[in-house]
């Protein structure tokens, strides 16, 4: 067994419950472009099955044929860039915080010398804005690798983004563990050979994570233990390096 593991975090829904901020930024940007679209929560939940903001807009137009869709189709990159700018401004203003246990586990990993990384399909500006807003100006330096946005051709559930991070760090899948919140992320990590800690988010709590290495409500805090759902971790209260080492050794 490796003497240390790399912790690879998804961002949206896993690191932070950001999806509502994304949804609001999309809707405000649609209004800015004169598009009569308002994605409510049920619609956005459906659209989240498609990873990537530009891909999500294209799917919406092609699947639902909304008013203004033909005009918007060639403008998708421009609209998405405007949405990203709006979203990062919202994050900079404090719209999102890390989920329970995230900052604690990052600190504990640094203490024991375990690298941390990011594997997400959101754009790099979104990642930078969230990490700086929650970890400070030097926050990005805490991550040994950041796979984000368009560095790969195929987004989750394809394994490409995890393979990218593993290749960049020159480690085998057995030397890392993924942190995810969605079935697309779970499949992406699994097809790259990674075990996953799943912490379902607001939009993914009803998804089926059968077979996942561990599923719990969040990573836990000293005064607020996680709620164990399935897999490893049934006898613990927080995801810590010590707990992970024990679980992975079994």
The catalytic residue positions are 10, 12
Distance between CA atoms of 229 and 207, rounded to whole angstroms?
Answer: 13
Distance between CA atoms of 248 and 165, rounded to whole angstroms?
Answer: 20
Residue with tokens 């563990």: 177
Distance between CA atoms of 85 and 72, rounded to whole angstroms?
Answer: 18
Q: Report the 10 Å Cβ neighbour count for 188.
A: 28
Burial class (CB in 10 A: 0-12, 13-18, 19+), 96: buried
Distance between CA atoms of 9 and 179, rounded to whole angstroms?
Answer: 5
């Amino acid at each position: 067994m490796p003497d240390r593991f790399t912790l690879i975090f998804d961002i949206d829904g896993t690191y932070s419950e950001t999806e509502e901020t994304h949804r609001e930024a999309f809707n405000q940007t649609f209004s800015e472009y004169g598009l009569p679209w308002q994605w409510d929560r049920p619609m956005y939940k459906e659209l989240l099955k498609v990873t990537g903001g530009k891909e999500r807009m294209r799917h919406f137009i092609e699947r639902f044929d909304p008013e203004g869709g033909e005009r918007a189709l060639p403008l998708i990159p421009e609209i998405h860039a405007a949405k990203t700018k709006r979203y990062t401004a919202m994050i900079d203003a404090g719209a999102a915080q890390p989920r329970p246990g995230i900052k604690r586990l990052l600190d504990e990993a640094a203490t024991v010398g375990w690298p941390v990384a990011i594997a997400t399909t959101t754009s790099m500006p979104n990642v930078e804005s969230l990490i700086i807003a929650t970890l400070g100006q030097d926050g990005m330096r805490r991550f040994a690798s950041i796979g984000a946005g368009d560095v790969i051709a195929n987004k989750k559930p394809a394994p490409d983004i995890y393979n990218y991070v593993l290749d960049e760090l020159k480690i085998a899948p057995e030397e890392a563990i993924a942190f995810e919140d969605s079935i697309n992320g779970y499949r992406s990590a699994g097809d790259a050979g990674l075990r996953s800690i799943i912490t379902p988010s607001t939009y993914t709590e009803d998804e089926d994570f059968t077979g996942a290495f561990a599923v719990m409500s969040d990573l836990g805090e000293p005064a607020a233990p996680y709620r164990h759902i399935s897999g490893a971790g049934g006898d613990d209260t927080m995801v810590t390096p010590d707990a992970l080492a024990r679980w992975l050794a079994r």
